[in-house]
Every structure is written in C-alpha cells, then in structure tokens.
C-alpha cells in the first residue's frame, strides 16, 4: 500500500490531516473565546469552572451535543434536512486547501510547500468554494418546512449575494496591485518594499513592507465589512434573529446537526480571517527579523524560518478571529433594509470606485 503511494501523496495526506485537525479545533476554541470575551466585555466572568480558565467548557459542550437525542421533525424534507449541515460545513473546510501557511522549504532536493494545493487560480477557487456555503443555509431553511426557517434562509441568500459582489470586487484591487490570483504570489508580493504613497516617494527610514492594507486601504475596509456579512456575523447576522424569526435557518435543528452549523460559522470566520491575513496583512511575513537574533545555520535556520512564518500567520489569523468576536460584542445589528442599502448603495459603488483608483495607480506606476 505505502509503496504504491508516492511521497507526494503521503505528504498531501499528512498536510490534509494536520489542516483538518487545526480547523476542527478552531470551533471549540472560538466558542470559548466568544463566551469569555463577551462576558468580560459585559463586566461578567463567563464560563471559568471547567479546566484552566474554563477552557474545557467547549469539550463538555461537544460531548453534550454528541449524546443529545437527534430527532428529525415529522414535517421536514428528510434528505435535504440531513444534507444541509454537511453542505454548509464542507465548503468551509475546502477553502483551506489553497491558503499558504508558510513559504516553501527545500528538504533533500525536494521542495516542500505549506499549503495543501498550490493552485494557480487560488483566489478564484476560494471565492467559488466560499459561495457554496450559502447553499447549506438555504437548504436548511427550505427543507425545515417552517416559515421562520425559510425567512432566515431567504435573508441569508440575499445578503450573501449582495455582499459577495463587493467582496469579489474589492479583491480585484489586490489582484491588480500584485498582478496575480495565486495566493502564494500575492503573499510574496507583499514582502517587497512599500516605496510611495501615490506620487509621493517615502523617505528611506519609512519604507515598510508592501502589505495589502497599505496598497489597498479602501479595498481592505470593503473586504472586511463584506467578510462580516459573508460569515453571517454581527452586525450582519440577519439569518437569525430571536425577536423576528426566532433562530432562523437552523430553527428545526438540534444536537449535532445544529452544532455543525455552529462549526461552519466558526470555520467560515477562520477562513475569512486567514484570507484577510493573506491578502492584506502580508500572510506569513512579519517575524523574519527574529532570524537575525538567533545564531542558527543551515537546515535548522530554514526550519526556524518556517516556524516563524507559521507563527506570524497564525498570530495574524488569531487577531482577526478575535476581531470578529470583538466587533460582534461592540456593534448593534443592522435592520434588514439597512443591510441591503449598505450593500447595494454604499459598498458596491465604493468597491467599483476602488477598482478605478487602483487602475489609475497601476497606470501611473504608483503601486
């Protein structure tokens, strides 16, 4: 068995396993961060009983979810009802295939990359897969055969479509600036030096890495706002709303099926955070200066570099995960018409304007 498999396949399986473990551990950790973070912001303490700082609370929750009865209501369309949580969860996992966690390393003449699939259409793949996530929600809302659930699914579909436009358009700026849709190349491009703001050349001591946020400040604001809407997080969590449509699309779901929707939400957050880090905050760059502080030579230095890159990437991702939680407990939610107004009347024109501005800058060689 092992002999027939090439080393490439073995490595891919290994990477797949590691990434899967990382992704699966995101949901429980984020559930804990969310609960403790919200509690602290509201001057409470939150779950702090089980394990150090209450960290094992999520494990208890998971065990409870696993052992709960998993009833299927009589009035639902059974096949699609059971399929919906899977459909919302799987695309969330799939997006990670192209995210580069670190740059490549050469081991015994072989180049080892820290991403599952080095696709040359990286960003297009991300968007095509990410847009599949909404089908799970619509399917859940539709198959539940419940008015509230259907309304939740409808809301989420219109919201996702409205904001996917500005999400996609805001990224075009990045693609233009780094002239690539390949995520690895975009990250490599961000290692270059940011020389000038518009026509003004920066002095030598002010030259910082050319991170996406410096090249595309407007695009970044649009992207992060649209990412909030895409992940159905507050202030855009319209698909659920206790006072209006009860629990929305997952109203009829319980036990593990419900927790799969929850996991999909957190994993989507993870995807959005890693995309923000990759596209706008230099991906795995940022900690390389530590290499000059430690006296390491040869291979150990290379592995140190990889470790620093992984560290930098996950630090950035962790910050944006926290940012998602932070924003959720800061901002009140929008009304539905306000969401649509923001999406179509504000975000869309601005993201189109951003493309023109970027084209202008690229034409004059400012970027």
Partner 1 sequence: MLVKAKKSFLQRFYLVEVIKGLGITMRNMLFAPKVTIQYPEERRKYSERFRGMHYVKATNGVENCTACMLCPTVCPAECIHIVAGERPDKEKYPVQFEIDVLRCCFCGMCEEACPKDAIKLSTIYEMSQVTRQVYDKDYLAEQRGNK
Catalog residues that contact partner 1 under the rule CB under 8 A: 37, 39-45, 221, 326-327, 329-331
- In this complex, which beta carbon is closest to partner 1, that of residue 129 or of residue 229? 229
- In this complex, which beta carbon is closest to partner 1, that of residue 37 or of residue 209? 37
Give least dist CB 330 to partner 1, A: 4
- In this complex, which beta carbon is closest to partner 1, that of residue 329 or of residue 336? 329
Q: What residues have CB less than 8 Å from 67, skipping those under 6 apart?
A: none
162 and 334 Cβ atoms separated by less than 8 Å = no
The dihedral through the CA atoms of 12, 13, 18, 24 has a sign that is positive
Q: In angstroms, what CA-CA distances link 300 with 104, 162, 290, 309, 313?
A: 14, 48, 14, 14, 20
Give least dist CB 47 to partner 1, A: 11
The Cα 250–Cα 267 span in angstroms is 17
Give least dist CB 283 to partner 1, A: 24
Give least dist CB 221 to partner 1, A: 7
Element (H, E) at 106: strand 105-107
Give least dist CB 316 to partner 1, A: 18
Rounded to 5 degrees, φ, ψ at 132 are -75, -25
99 and 22 Cβ atoms separated by less than 8 Å = no
Could you give the 3-state DSSP secondary structure of residue 110? strand
- In this complex, which beta carbon is closest to partner 1, that of residue 288 or of residue 333? 333
Q: Which long-range contacts (C-beta less than 8 Å, at least 24 apart) are formed by 33-41? A: 33/321, 33/322, 33/325, 34/325, 34/328, 37/322, 37/325, 37/326, 37/329, 38/325, 38/328, 38/329, 41/329, 41/330
- In this complex, which beta carbon is closest to partner 1, that of residue 162 or of residue 225? 225
Give least dist CB 38 to partner 1, A: 9
Residues, the chain:
367
Give least dist CB 58 to partner 1, A: 19
Give least dist CB 44 to partner 1, A: 5
- In this complex, which beta carbon is closest to partner 1, that of residue 207 or of residue 330? 330
Beta-bridge mates of residue 241: 246
278 and 183 Cβ atoms separated by less than 8 Å = yes
207 and 151 Cβ atoms separated by less than 8 Å = no
What's the DSSP call for residue 246?
Answer: B
Could you give the 3-state DSSP secondary structure of residue 107? strand
Give least dist CB 213 to partner 1, A: 14
- In this complex, which beta carbon is closest to partner 1, that of residue 44 or of residue 78? 44
- In this complex, which beta carbon is closest to partner 1, that of residue 42 or of residue 128? 42
Give least dist CB 333 to partner 1, A: 13
- In this complex, which beta carbon is closest to partner 1, that of residue 187 or of residue 227? 227
Q: In angstroms, what CA-CA distances link 306 with 95, 112, 256, 301?
A: 22, 11, 37, 9
- In this complex, which beta carbon is closest to partner 1, that of residue 115 or of residue 273? 273
């Amino acid at each position: 068995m092992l002999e027939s498999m090439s080393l490439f396949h073995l490595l891919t399986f290994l990477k797949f396993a590691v990434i899967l473990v990382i992704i699966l551990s995101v949901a429980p950790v984020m559930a804990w961060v969310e609960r403790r973070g919200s509690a602290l912001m509201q001057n409470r303490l939150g779950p702090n009983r089980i394990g150090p700082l209450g960290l094992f609370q999520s494990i208890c929750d998971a065990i409870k979810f696993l052992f709960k009865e998993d009833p299927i209501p009589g009035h639902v369309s059974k096949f699609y009802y059971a399929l919906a949580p899977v459909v919302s969860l799987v695309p969330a996992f799939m997006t990670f295939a192209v995210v580069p966690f670190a740059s490549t390393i050469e081991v015994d003449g072989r180049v080892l990359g820290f991403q599952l699939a080095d696709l040359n259409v990286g960003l297009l793949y991300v968007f095509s897969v990410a847009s599949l996530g909404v089908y799970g929600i619509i399917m859940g809302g539709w198959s539940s055969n419940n008015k509230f659930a259907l309304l939740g699914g409808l809301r989420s579909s219109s919201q996702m479509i409205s904001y996917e436009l500005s999400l996609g358009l805001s990224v075009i700026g990045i693609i233009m600036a780094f002239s690539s849709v390949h995520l690895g190349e975009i990250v490599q491009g961000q290692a270059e030096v940011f020389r000038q703001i518009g026509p003004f050349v920066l002095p030598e001591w002010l030259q910082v890495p050319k991170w996406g946020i410096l090249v595309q400040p407007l695009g970044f604001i649009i992207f992060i706002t649209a990412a909030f809407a895409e992940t159905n997080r507050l202030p855009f969590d319209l698909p659920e709303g206790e006072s209006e449509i009860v629990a929305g699309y997952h109203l009829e779901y319980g036990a593990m099926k419900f927790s799969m929707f929850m996991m999909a939400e957190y994993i989507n957050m993870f995807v959005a955070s890693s995309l923000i880090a990759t596209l706008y905050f230099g991906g795995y760059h940022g900690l390389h200066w530590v290499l000059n502080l430690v006296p390491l030579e040869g291979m150990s230095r290379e592995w140190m570099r990889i470790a620093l890159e992984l560290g930098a990437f996950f630090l950035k991702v962790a910050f944006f995960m926290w940012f998602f939680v932070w924003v959720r407990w800061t901002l009140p939610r929008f009304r539905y018409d306000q969401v649509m107004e923001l999406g179509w009347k504000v975000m869309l024109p601005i993201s189109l304007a951003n493309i023109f501005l970027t084209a202008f800058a690229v034409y004059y060689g400012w970027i």
